[in-house]
Structure 1
Amino acid sequence: MSDSDPNFDDPNFADPALATELLVDGFGRTHEGVPPVVAGLDTEELLWRPDRDANHIAWLVWHLARQQDEQMAQIGDTASAWRSGEWARRFDLPYSPNAHGYGMTSEEVGAFTVADSSLLLDYHEAVHDLTIGVLRRLGTDDFTTVIDPNWDPPVTVAVRIVSVMDDAAKHLGQAEYVRGLLERRR
């Protein structure tokens, strides 16, 4: 067990329900941050890239939701919102339906299109609902379950959840930064 892996078996550890509420709060902060980052932007602004190799706001929001969706669905042993809600069809992207953004080339990011922010917001809302549902169903023993033994130390559910939340927050911050650059251009 690493320093970053909470020991839920330790009697000195706070109530595991508190850990769940902290995770709900953490994901809630990203959830609250997504609408303002796309608010009032037209399609051209959502797809604006500071340079030809940069990510744009729409792709960053989609990717933060996609990575969260797939990983939280895996943890919850359920279908992702992307698959169960026909989001792949709704977005109609030029990617495989399994794509989530990891490892995409600059050209692939540039091929991303979206008509307006409502589709991004609706998808992120569905992902947030899935995430909160998964978190609320996890029991104390679930947090310590090893889901990737290929690391040293092995990755537990708790560590993966923190990683997913961290990744989403970083991508939201990147989208906020791009929005700031966009606003300075106006």
Structure 2
Amino acid sequence: MTITELFADFAHRPIDAVTGLPDLTPEQLNAHPGSHPNSIAWLLWHIGREVDVQLSGLSGEPQVWEKYRERFGLGAIGDTVGYGHTPEQASEIVVNDQGLLTDYVTAALTALIDYANTLSAEDFGVVIDENWTPPVTRGVRLVSIVDDAAQHAGQAAYAAGELH
């Protein structure tokens, strides 16, 4: 198994988790279990955005979001990523279509896998960010992106289990 095959398998795990969620009503998608500011819709939207924005920074390619922005209809808040959202900002992320959320997450992570498939094994070891100690390699950044997606997919699954 090559490093790109291993990464593709790893990066597909959040897709499997998101597509495995039970069917949720718009009310369930946008509920705030335990009064938490992040709804399931917010969590799924955020997965797509954090993958998409960071991938665009790595690849230099446009964000997948460009194909989804109008369909989401979130206005300016939709163009953010969600990091540092206040509870009020998080509550502005209202999405009634679970399929749209799943499609966006899948598209963003598939684009990440496609990008990784263009890399050589050596490319994974290239330092891309000197602002950390130790400096961050491309491989570490890619793993970090997927780790964040997997954590949020797990949070969505837990919340969905509580509501379903």
TM-score w.r.t. the length of structure 2 is 0.92
The answer as to 2:38 corresponding to 1:19 is no
Which string of whole-angstrom CA distances, capped at 9 and with x for unpartnered residues, describes residues 23-79 of structure 1?
A: 100111111111222x32110011111133331111101101110111122222211
Which runs of no fewer than 5 residues in structure 2 stay unpaired?
none
Which string of whole-angstrom CA distances, capped at 9 and with x for unpartnered residues, describes residues 65-98 of structure 1?
A: 1101111222222111013x1x222211143453
Q: Which has the larger radius of gyration?
A: 1
CA RMSD, Structure 1 to Structure 2 (Å): 1.6
Contact in 1 for aligned 2:77/2:89 (Cα 8 Å): no
Which string of whole-angstrom CA distances, capped at 9 and with x for unpartnered residues, describes residues 120-162 of structure 1?
A: 1221222122112101111233212222101111111011011
Q: For the residues of structure 2 that align with 1:154 and 1:127, how far apart are their CA atoms?
A: 25
Secondary structure of the corresponding residue to residue 137 of structure 1: coil
Identity percentage over the alignment? 39
Amino acid paired to 2:147: D
Instruction: Give structure 1 regions of 4+ aligned residues with deviation exceeding 4 angstroms.
Output: none
Structure with more helix by fraction: 2
Q: For the residues of structure 1 that align with 2:80 and 2:157, how far apart are their CA atoms?
A: 23
The answer as to 2:138 corresponding to 1:157 is yes
Residue from 48, 53, 57 that aligns with 2:36 = 53
